[in-house]
Structure 1
Amino acid sequence: MMGNENSQLNGLEIEEKAVEITDFWSQYQATIKDSCRYFSLKSDGSVSVFKGEAALGPLWAVSTPLEKFSNNLLKYRHPCIVRYISAWQQRSTLHLATEYVQPLSQVLMTQTPLQICIGLNNILRALVFLHNQAGMSHNNICVSAVYITGDGQWKLGGLQYLCSYSELTAAYLKHARIHRYDKAVDPNEDSYMITTKVDQYSFAVLVEDVYRNHKDDDVPHLKEFKRYCRDYLQHDDPAQRPDLSVVLQHNFFNHEFISIYKFLNFLPLKTEDEKSEVFSNILDNLQCYDEETVAKQLGGLLLSRLTMLDQTARKAVIPFILKPKNERTQNGEHTGFFSLSVFKEHVKPRLMQLFGVRDSQIRTLLLTHFSKFVHVFSHEELSQHILPELLLGIKDTDDNLVAATLTCLSELVPILGGDTVIGGKRSKFFTDGRPNSKSASENVHDQKLFSPKSLRDLPCSENIYNHEEIEQQTYEKILTLNERPSPVGGESIEDAATETTINKVESEDDWSDWDNTNRQLTIVNTVETINVDNDEQKHNEQINVLHSLNEPQSVKTTASTTLLQKAALEAKKNILDISELDIKNQKIDYSKKSSDEFDFFADMKPIIEKPTIVPIAQHNMIDDLSSKLNFVPNDNHDEDENEGWGDTWND
């Protein structure tokens, strides 16, 4: 008895329906939760579980068939033999857990001739290992002893009849014959003195069975290999049957496609020059083969760790494998190798596995090409598998890896949303500062159909006026601004309306005397005439801007223009420093003001009562009680009370 109930895998869930039922066991599919150690293609912890009962017969007196199968899987490890995971006894039933596999008999009809050729090569390699390295004979090579993994690789199973050559006798074969594949048993087996050539005969039968529904020209050298199997591997004299290691040298196992497969399988044994030569031309050589066959048989090898770390493969192979084929290429870019449907079925599961690999070189390579294949994943796959791995990458100490990871996270924001990618609470800190004079649809239309046009052809929120055609009165009305009513009611609304209509727009010819044509003087609503004192002997010339309500509206435009030009010239002559324009520095002599001038602000003078001064006896801090209207600086105040913009006009 092997194992116990405590050896059962944690989190193992076995399906109720059996995949296959044989004379010795029942096979079930199962899943190990929260585990990524035992996966093949699905990366979801899928495994296979075999349940076996005790069997009758002289060969099973010591151990059951499933127990012998389990012991041999545990002892003889090879890439082409079903991988052992665990075994345990539960009551009277033995459980064996292996990697995820399917019986070949259930999927043989879906296999292409090239896939079958590669599969036979794997089985042959496993038999050579058992014969030459282990000194063991399988004794039951047939379709039921072959399994296929999730990625389409053929692996040898059915090791319950395995025995060493020293134990391989005619009596042993006679006892095992009852459960062996009848067609694979040599009819003259009992009469042979040599019993070490049993597997050669059964392998020839396997070749015939798997290629029964295919033509001889489907695979190079298939017809001659079938003849070779009949003439040599099934020879009546067992001594004339060649070793299986010699069969591997046949042309059937050395054509171009299978040579590439062997090269990728034995990549660690190849030199740098051999790697460079093969990887430079490998995609061109694979173009003539079935796309799905290439993806299923070579997809895992093309994305293996050793391949992705090779410098030549990183330039000539990986960029094309990681990009789905797009029929419409832009800017002369190269298209991918696999179509989108094949990419999703065979390459995408590999990528999900690779994102779990903690190798900085592999992760950086995936991040570099992330934008090419991110769209093939579903929202659930991105949020549940890819995003957690990317979030782990931003915590790494490698700055280059972090920078590349952040770039890939930006690719996920439009797909998953910022809340999913960033997490936490978000707030709106930025607003759209574009003018809202046009509707959103118009803005989009302008962006799409932008072309160099004249200003008149472009949409505008304001009306366009022709100065040559519009009448003067209409133009004056457009420039009219409504004046704010007087705060004390000194002016009537009618007077204000009358004043606003006096504004005129001068033509460009009337301003030709100005030195700087870019500087313009605009007459605003409350200004009609400017009285200029022409006394050039004074220190500072005064420009008094007065608005007379009694001025008649019949003043000619030419007279007003002459006054404006003269005032501007005189002001320009007398301004010695730009600081004089500051109202603080202007010196106005109010003695010149004539008695007959109209004072606009006569009725706006505030009445300020004198404050009542209350003397406080024996108090020395009079300065602290300064009135708020007293602008004399107080030296006793703190500096904080004097903070402000400051007077820097003269700096």
Structure 2
Amino acid sequence: MMGNDTSQLNGLEIEEKAIDVTDFWSHYQATIKDSCRYFSLKCDGSVSVFKGQAALGPLWAVSSPLEKFSNNLLKYRHPCIIRYITAWQQKSTYHLATEFVQPLSYVLSSQTPLQICIGLNNILRALVFLHEQAGMSHNNVSISAIYVTGDGQWKLGGLQYLCLFSELIPGYLKQARIHRYDKAVDPNEDSYEITTKVDQYAFAALVEDVFKGRNDEEVPHLKEFKKYCRDCLQHNEPDRRPDLAEVLQHSFFNHEFISIYKFLNFLPLKSDEEKSEFFSNILDSLKCYDEETVAKQLGGLLLSRLTMLDPTARKDVIPYILKPKNERLQNTEQLGFFSLSVYKEHVKSRIMQLFAVRDNQIRMLLLTHFATFVHVFSHEELSLHILPELLLGIKDIDDNLVAATLICLSELVPILGADTVIGGKRSKLFTDGRPNSKTNLTTGKPQDDLLFLSKKSLRDYHCSEDVYENSSINTSEYEKTIVLNERPSPVGGESVDEEVVLMKCNKNNLADSEDDWSDWDNTNRQLTIASNNTETHLDKEESANSKESSISTTTYILDTASRTTILQKAALEAKKNIVDISELDIKNQKPENKRTREEIDFFADMMPVIEKPTVVNIAHRDISQDFSSKLNFIPDQELDENEGWGENWNE
């Protein structure tokens, strides 16, 4: 007995309804939250949980069938045997958690003949491992003992009858026969002296069951293999039945498609020359087969770690596997291998798993081809799975990895928006200063923007899922209230004492026509200054007409705080009348006659408000003194140096 109540996986949620019920256990689907993603192809932590209780019978005196099944899974590990995760006892119920699998009987009708051929190859390899490496007999080979993983791989289960060949006696088989598959049991089993060939007979029955109703011409050498199973594996004399290792040498398990599958499975055992030749021609060979079968059976192997690290595969295979086929591409561009629908169904989940791999070479390969497959993912998948992995990559010490990651983040901005990609609050800090004459009349967008958007074709691809809203921030609301420290305005800005100016972005200014731009010769422009209940209007036209005559200036004596407030309002008022700084360029001004330029004082509205100084009697000075320079001022030596400053500076 393994484990106890505390052995249960953290965050495990088991579905209430069982997907399969047998004599010994019930099979449930479950999910482990915040767990390793490799439990499930879908990266959602899906696992399978088997629940069983004690059973009656001489074989289960020591342990229950599920407990024996669990112990054998833990002891005998093989790629073609169900992967064990953990087991625990909860009250009187025993629990076994494995990788995500479902019974073969549920999916057999949807399996293609090539998939069945590969599946039988996997089961045969598992049986050979048990026979030759472990010295064990399975004794329960049938459809009910076979499970299928999320990526379509057949896995051997049903190890509750597993025993050593030395223990495989007629009495043991008789005790187990009540729950074994009748068709897989030799009728003359009790009379045989040799009992070590029961798995051969059962495997032949399995071949007949899985190919029932199938055309023998759909798989090379299928007809010959069926005859071989009846004549050899189910021979009346057990000693003449071949070992299962010999069955693997049959032509049925060595045609082109399954040879490719075997090569990818045993890639570490191949030489560099063999791998280079294999990957140079593999895509041409796979084009002859159904692409869905190729994606389901070979997709995981083509994107395995060993394949992605091979130099030839990185150049001749991986770019076409990662890139989905799109009919909109130009003829000059190379098409991908899988169609978009097949890619989404079988390849996309693999890529999501690869983004969780902490390997520099694999991550760089994904980043290099990121723009070719990013449109395949939904907004939710990009936000919850891909984006967090990319944000992790920008913290790496490898500069090349960080640079490639930042490029990929820029690809996500047109899809998810900058709020999701970079986070935080944003506001409009830049305006478009180009003349409106460059605006496209059809779309209303500047032509340069259209050129940029044409390069970003991610929006052109169809996404079957709805847009995933990752942020609940109302952009328009915080744009209204954002506080920004700005450079002082040219008009009265020198008097602003480090105060905060609240900015509102007027988007309508960008849509105004060129005729609405304010010019230097605007004679109707007024500067309104309000202080308490007093308003002063300085009309530039009146100021220009009276310039040659006497200029009368009214001076207001205001305190420092009031003057600062008035100048701030004047600065903001002047800023509103400026659409863009380029309008101040003299090259953008409208032509006007010379006479008008001489009559108008352009700086009349910038005349400073000067406080009238205190009148001080100064001794008579010689008028013949040279006043040619404004700086040529020599104070009277007889005057007190403190007189006229309004305060005693010596205190």
Settle same-fold status: TM greater than 0.5. yes
Query: In the alignment, residue 486 of structure 1 is paired with which amino acid?
Result: N
CA distance in 1, matches of 2:290, 2:89: 45
Q: How does 1:58-457 map to 2 (within 5 A)?
A: 58-330=58-330, 332-436=332-436, 441=441, 444=444, 447=447
- The answer to whether the Cα contact below 8 Å between 2:438 and 2:446 also exists between their aligned partners in 1 is no
SS in 2 for 1:42: coil
Deviates more, 1:136-145 or 1:37-46: 37-46
1:525 matched to 2:595: yes
* CA spacing shift, 1:437–1:320, aligned 2, 3 Å: closer
CA distance in 2, matches of 1:395, 1:225: 56
Query: In the alignment, residue 174 of structure 1 is paired with which amino acid?
Result: K
Query: In the alignment, residue 224 of structure 1 is paired with which amino acid?
Result: E
CA distance in 1, matches of 2:242, 2:283: 36
Q: How does 1:621-640 map to 2 (within 5 A)?
A: 630-632=630-632
Q: What CA deviation, in whole Å up to 9, does each residue of 1:341-378 have, x standing for no partner?
A: 00001000001100000001000000000000000111
- The answer to whether the Cα contact below 8 Å between 2:439 and 2:446 also exists between their aligned partners in 1 is no
TM-score w.r.t. structure 2 length? 0.71
CA distance in 2, matches of 1:111, 1:259: 19
CA distance in 2, matches of 1:633, 1:223: 120
> What RMSD over aligned residues (CA atoms) do the two structures have, in Å?
2.8
Query: In the alignment, residue 388 of structure 1 is paired with which amino acid?
Result: P
1:487 matched to 2:546: yes
Deviates more, 1:292-301 or 1:429-438: 429-438
- The answer to whether the Cα contact below 8 Å between 1:82 and 1:157 also exists between their aligned partners in 2 is yes
- The answer to whether the Cα contact below 8 Å between 2:37 and 2:44 also exists between their aligned partners in 1 is no
Q: What CA deviation, in whole Å up to 9, does each residue of 1:542-594 have, x standing for no partner?
A: xxx9x9xxxxxxxxxxxxxxxxxxxxxxxxxxxxxxxxxxxxxxxxxxxxxxx
* CA spacing shift, 1:240–1:431, aligned 2, 3 Å: same
CA distance in 2, matches of 1:183, 1:111: 22
CA distance in 1, matches of 2:170, 2:339: 54
CA distance in 2, matches of 1:446, 1:400: 34
> How many residues end up aligned between the 2 structures?
487
- The answer to whether the Cα contact below 8 Å between 1:38 and 1:47 also exists between their aligned partners in 2 is no
CA distance in 1, matches of 2:80, 2:415: 41
Q: How does 1:600-615 map to 2 (within 5 A)?
A: 613-614=617-618
* CA spacing shift, 1:488–1:164, aligned 2, 3 Å: closer
SS in 2 for 1:49: strand
* Pairwise CA distance, 1:41: 1.1
* CA spacing shift, 1:634–1:101, aligned 2, 3 Å: farther
- The answer to whether the Cα contact below 8 Å between 1:38 and 1:46 also exists between their aligned partners in 2 is no
CA distance in 1, matches of 2:633, 2:113: 103
Query: In the alignment, residue 338 of structure 1 is paired with which amino acid?
Result: F
The answer to which structure, 1 or 2, has the higher relative contact order (CA under 8 A, 6+ apart) is 2
CA distance in 2, matches of 1:152, 1:442: 51
- The answer to whether the Cα contact below 8 Å between 1:303 and 1:350 also exists between their aligned partners in 2 is yes
CA distance in 1, matches of 2:545, 2:277: 94
SS in 1 for 2:88: strand
Q: Which residue of 2 aligns with 1:594?
A: none
**Gapped regions of structure 2 (runs ≥ 5):** 451-512, 516-540, 551-591, 600-614, 621-626, 636-651
- The answer to whether the Cα contact below 8 Å between 1:103 and 1:146 also exists between their aligned partners in 2 is yes
CA distance in 2, matches of 1:137, 1:42: 34
SS in 2 for 1:30: strand
* Pairwise CA distance, 1:428: 2.0
CA distance in 2, matches of 1:524, 1:285: 82
* Pairwise CA distance, 1:137: 0.2
SS in 2 for 1:217: coil
CA distance in 2, matches of 1:277, 1:524: 83
- The answer to whether the Cα contact below 8 Å between 1:140 and 1:199 also exists between their aligned partners in 2 is yes
* Pairwise CA distance, 1:43: 1.2
Q: What CA deviation, in whole Å up to 9, does each residue of 1:1-56 have, x standing for no partner?
A: 33211111111110000010000000000011101255231111111000001111
SS in 1 for 2:213: coil
SS in 2 for 1:166: helix
Query: In the alignment, residue 400 of structure 2 is paired with which amino acid?
Result: N
CA distance in 2, matches of 1:523, 1:114: 88
* CA spacing shift, 1:443–1:49, aligned 2, 3 Å: closer
CA distance in 2, matches of 1:523, 1:96: 95
Q: What CA deviation, in whole Å up to 9, does each residue of 1:239-280 have, x standing for no partner?
A: 110000000000000000000000000001010000000100
* CA spacing shift, 1:443–1:483, aligned 2, 3 Å: farther
* Pairwise CA distance, 1:445: 8.4
SS in 1 for 2:115: helix
CA distance in 1, matches of 2:596, 2:257: 95
* CA spacing shift, 1:186–1:633, aligned 2, 3 Å: farther
CA distance in 2, matches of 1:64, 1:279: 48
CA distance in 2, matches of 1:275, 1:300: 17
Q: Which residue of 1 aligns with 2:57?
A: 57
Query: In the alignment, residue 545 of structure 2 is paired with which amino acid?
Result: S
* Pairwise CA distance, 1:328: 3.3
Query: In the alignment, residue 342 of structure 2 is paired with which amino acid?
Result: V
* CA spacing shift, 1:244–1:524, aligned 2, 3 Å: same
* Pairwise CA distance, 1:301: 0.3
- The structure that has the greater radius of gyration is 1
Query: In the alignment, residue 261 of structure 2 is paired with which amino acid?
Result: Y
CA distance in 1, matches of 2:313, 2:177: 50
- The answer to whether the Cα contact below 8 Å between 2:4 and 2:88 also exists between their aligned partners in 1 is yes
Q: Which residue of 2 aligns with 1:569?
A: none
- The answer to whether the Cα contact below 8 Å between 2:439 and 2:447 also exists between their aligned partners in 1 is no
Query: In the alignment, residue 264 of structure 2 is paired with which amino acid?
Result: L
Q: What CA deviation, in whole Å up to 9, does each residue of 1:264-316 have, x standing for no partner?
A: 00001010000000100101000010111000000000000000000000011
SS in 2 for 1:18: coil
CA distance in 2, matches of 1:293, 1:374: 24
CA distance in 2, matches of 1:439, 1:285: 52
* Pairwise CA distance, 1:430: 1.2
SS in 1 for 2:594: coil
- The answer to whether the Cα contact below 8 Å between 2:38 and 2:353 also exists between their aligned partners in 1 is no
Q: What CA deviation, in whole Å up to 9, does each residue of 1:133-153 have, x standing for no partner?
A: 000000010000000001100
Deviates more, 1:437-446 or 1:136-145: 437-446
- The answer to whether the Cα contact below 8 Å between 1:51 and 1:95 also exists between their aligned partners in 2 is yes
Q: What CA deviation, in whole Å up to 9, does each residue of 1:413-434 have, x standing for no partner?
A: 0111111101112232211001
* Pairwise CA distance, 1:330: 1.4
Query: In the alignment, residue 95 of structure 1 is paired with which amino acid?
Result: H
TM-score w.r.t. structure 1 length? 0.71
* CA spacing shift, 1:634–1:188, aligned 2, 3 Å: farther
* Pairwise CA distance, 1:326: 1.2
- The answer to whether the Cα contact below 8 Å between 1:46 and 1:100 also exists between their aligned partners in 2 is yes
Q: Which residue of 1 aligns with 2:646?
A: none
Query: In the alignment, residue 524 of structure 1 is paired with which amino acid?
Result: K
Query: In the alignment, residue 311 of structure 2 is paired with which amino acid?
Result: Q
Query: In the alignment, residue 57 of structure 1 is paired with which amino acid?
Result: G
- The answer to whether the Cα contact below 8 Å between 2:52 and 2:95 also exists between their aligned partners in 1 is yes
SS in 2 for 1:17: coil
Q: What CA deviation, in whole Å up to 9, does each residue of 1:183-229 have, x standing for no partner?
A: 00000000000000000000000000000021100100000000000
Query: In the alignment, residue 194 of structure 2 is paired with which amino acid?
Result: I
1:4 matched to 2:20: no
